[in-house]
Amino acid sequence: MDTRNFLFMFYGFLAAWVIVMIYIITLARRNSRLKRELDDVKRLLDVKETRAENRTTSLPHGRGSVQG
């Protein structure tokens, strides 16, 4: 085989690995962003539940029941 063919093969594999690495980095960043968003949603839900509990416990008897 001609050495030029090996050079093209090397560049092809190099390009493939660069694409794979960029894809993995993109997936890792998306995963990190999704984890942060999920943590924010969980925190907001906890705050909302805490406020709802505080509201129902501060009402007089019979007025604290939740109607759904």
pLDDT tens digits, one per residue of 16-59: 999 999 999 999 999 999 999 999 999 999 998 888 888 877 66
The structure tokens listed for 33 are 């962003």
pLDDT at 4: 85
Cα 3 from chain centre: 46
Compute the distance between CA of residue 16 and CA of residue 58 in angstroms, rounded to an integer. 63
67 has pLDDT over 70: no
Please state, in angstroms and as integers, the Cα–Cα distance from residue 45 to each residue in 31, 49, 51, 52, 58, following that order. 21, 6, 10, 10, 20
Q: How confident is the model at residue 60 (pLDDT cuts 50, 70, 90)?
A: low
Compute the distance between CA of residue 68 and CA of residue 57 in angstroms, rounded to an integer. 17
Report the chain's terminal Cα–Cα distance, integer Å: 77
pLDDT at 57: 75
Indicate yes or no: pTM above 0.75: no
